[in-house]
Amino acid sequence: MKDKELTDHDLTFEKAIEALEEIVEKMEMEDISLEESIRLFERGVRLTRYCSEKLDEAEGKITMILERNTHNEKKTTFDID
């Protein structure tokens, strides 16, 4: 469990969401110790923060490949409106 927490930042977005859902589910069960619930809560908070960060990670760039062999690419803007 300890190792898992240390490597949360390597999770993909869907894995992180999955882990978060699992935590919420566990916490919604009645028989859970105080220590366990606090531990889960702390990890859950970290995961929500991580997931939110992931959403803003993409740069929003649109690139176009000009030449496949040389990977020559340029940033491009499309008149989309």
What distances in angstroms separate CA 54 from CA 9, 18, 49, one per listed residue? 10, 14, 9
Q: Which residues bind another protein (CB under 8 A)?
A: 12-14, 17, 20-21, 23-24, 27-28, 32, 34, 37-38, 41, 44-45, 48, 51-52, 54-65, 68, 73, 76, 78-81
- C-beta of 1 vs 58, nearer to another protein: 58
Q: Is 49 helix (H, G, I), strand (E, B) or coil?
A: helix
- C-beta of 10 vs 81, nearer to another protein: 81
- Minimum CB separation of residue 37 from another protein in Å reads 5
- Minimum CB separation of residue 2 from another protein in Å reads 20
CA dist 48 and 37 (Å) reads 16
Structural contact between residues 32 and 24, judged by C-beta atoms closer than 8 angstroms: no
- Minimum CB separation of residue 11 from another protein in Å reads 11
